């Protein structure tokens, strides 16, 4: 059988959904070149603190950071059954003068865990500006439609009116919480540093002849050279997998937000009130050419569910890390961390595309309002009659009877709501007939919705977007049209 790239499994996260930037962040090239950078930083810090390491050795290593022979490393690993030592040997072959000091005093988790922390930090730095771009898109949408009344729904049943813009602020508010959680997870990250095989730094204490101050300085200096201000003060062989829980929890929370928002958009698309972008040549169904399926929102919901499911992996992995560590975290984390970030990246890019081109149909929205507004206006009609000298209880009973009759027409006969016509034809309500248009003005039913939108965007959203002003660029996403 002839083999080619299509004969092997390829993750759809790489082939269809995630960005090149996030794919590179979890690539072998990024991983193993970061290992080599960490060996360079270790050598630099050890040299600064007095070990006999030369500038030539460091320069030799720096010159070969990106020069990785993956086939040679795979061959070495097949012999040694140890990925870190395989790469130590391959790197040492490239840097013969540096061979004696590569990985000096370190354990496998020095490169493994510290690299994971760098990749996690870089992954969050990729996601956060893209999330901010989505918030910016939705903020413009909310501001544009802050005055457009629409039916509110509780229990998926028509309720008091809100506005299209106000509803959008509910989505934004959740996204702001995600921005806070992801930022906090990033800012709380520390470096594992140089902690040794069980976290006691015993090997480094031997290297520095029992000088604990130099060992502490080494730990701090390696973190600084690697872009971190602090290290975790205590670790076992690994940094606590509780850190992974905090990161995955923030990503899973973002997934929940996206799922809720995109479900809302799918419901609104069903009502033909709001639609996601739809290209002129896009096909909604192979059998039903008239269909305009909300496929981007469906994609977001689909991938978001996967992100949410990964949280259970993180908590279960941490729960079984016996004593100073076990190795049953390794294979699981290779899957969970990468897929959580790649999935979140795919979702935020798709969401950016959706929020750049939402289409609103005000006339459809108003038609739906008119089907329900007569019922909602009954209290206002009663109050208007009372102001004209009417008896509230008498008016209430008349409205109740007319409302039941109109509801029967809607439910049993499929006709439009004719409650207002019934009110107009009842002489009892003659005193307020000239006020009915004002009473039925949908904008009198939206409360402070428009003001709330303006206040929310100014007080809550603007400060967050200001933090990203140098990174906020329009993300034009060529979202693929096949799920």
* Cβ neighbours of 440 (radius 10 Å): 18
Instruction: Determine whether 155 is an active site residue.
Output: yes
Q: Which long-range contacts (CB under 8 A, 24 or more apart) does 452-456 make?
A: 452/166, 452/169, 453/142, 453/143, 453/146, 453/163, 453/165, 453/166, 453/169, 454/143, 454/146, 456/142, 456/169, 456/172, 456/173
Q: Whole-angstrom distance between the N-terminal and C-terminal Cα of the chain? A: 29
Q: What's the CA dihedral at 173, 174, 176, 179 to 10 degrees? A: 180
- Among 155, 281, 286, 413, the active-site one is 155
Q: How many CA atoms lie within 13 A of 443 on its CB side?
A: 8
Residues 6+ apart with CB under 8 A from 432: 381, 384, 385, 388, 439
- Quote the CA–CA distance of 144 and 409 in Å, as a whole number: 36
- Among 285, 312, 330, 474, the active-site one is 285
- Quote the CA–CA distance of 373 and 212 in Å, as a whole number: 76
* Cβ neighbours of 160 (radius 10 Å): 13
Please return the burial class of 177, using the count of CB atoms within 10 Å of its CB with bins 0-12, 13-18 and 19+.
Answer: middle
> DSSP character for 191?
B
Start-end of H helices in 145-271: 164-188, 202-207, 212-225, 242-270
Q: Which residues are catalytic?
A: 155, 285
């Amino acid at each position: 059988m002839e083999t080619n790239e299509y004969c092997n499994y390829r993750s759809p996260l790489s082939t269809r959904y995630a960005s090149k930037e996030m794919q590179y962040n979890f690539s072998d090239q990024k991983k193993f070149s970061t290992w080599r950078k960490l060996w360079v930083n270790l050598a630099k810090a050890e040299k600064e603190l007095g070990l006999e390491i030369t500038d030539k050795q460091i320069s030799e290593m720096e010159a070969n950071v990106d020069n990785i022979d993956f086939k040679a490393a795979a061959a070495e690993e097949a012999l040694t059954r140890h990925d870190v030592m395989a790469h130590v040997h391959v790197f040492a072959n490239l840097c013969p003068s540096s061979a004696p000091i590569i990985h000096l005093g370190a354990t496998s988790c020095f490169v493994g865990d510290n690299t994971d922390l760098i990749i996690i930090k870089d992954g969050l730095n990729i996601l956060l500006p893209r999330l901010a771009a989505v918030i910016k898109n939705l903020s413009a949408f909310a501001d544009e439609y802050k005055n457009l009344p629409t039916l509110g729904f509780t229990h998926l049943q028509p309720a008091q009116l809100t506005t299209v813009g106000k509803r959008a602020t509910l989505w934004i508010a959740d996204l702001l919480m995600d921005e806070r959680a992801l930022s906090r997870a990033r800012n709380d990250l520390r470096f594992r540093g140089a902690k040794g095989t069980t976290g006691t730094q015993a090997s480094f204490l031997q290297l520095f002849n029992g000088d604990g101050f130099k060992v502490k300085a080494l730990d701090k200096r390696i973190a600084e050279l690697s872009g971190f201000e602090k290290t975790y003060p205590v670790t076992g062989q690994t940094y606590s997998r509780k850190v992974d829980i905090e990161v995955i929890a923030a990503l899973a929370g973002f997934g929940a937000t996206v799922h809720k928002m995109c479900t809302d958009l799918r419901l609104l698309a069903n009502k033909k009130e709001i639609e996601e972008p739809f290209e002129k040549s896009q096909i909604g169904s192979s059998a039903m050419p008239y269909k305009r399926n909300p496929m981007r929102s469906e994609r977001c919901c689909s991938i978001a569910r996967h992100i949410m499911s990964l949280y259970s992996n993180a908590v279960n992995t941490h729960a079984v890390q016996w004593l100073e560590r076990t190795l049953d975290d390794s294979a699981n984390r290779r899957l969970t961390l990468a897929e959580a970030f790649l999935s979140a990246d795919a979702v935020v890019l798709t969401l950016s595309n959706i929020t750049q081109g939402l289409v609103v149909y005000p006339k459809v929205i108003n038609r739906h309002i008119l089907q329900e507004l007569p019922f909602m206006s009954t209290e206002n009609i009663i109050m208007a009659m009372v102001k004209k000298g009417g008896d509230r209880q008498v008016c209430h009973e008349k409205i109740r009877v007319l409302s039941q009759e109109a509801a029967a027409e809607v439910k049993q006969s499929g006709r439009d709501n004719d409650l207002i016509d019934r009110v107009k034809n009842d002489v009892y309500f003659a005193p307020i007939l000239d006020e009915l248009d004002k009473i039925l003005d949908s904008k009198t039913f939206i409360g402070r919705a428009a003001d709330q939108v303006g206040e929310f965007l100014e007080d809550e959203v603007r400060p967050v977007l200001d933090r990203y002003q140098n990174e906020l660029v329009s993300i034009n996403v060529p979202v693929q049209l096949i799920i």
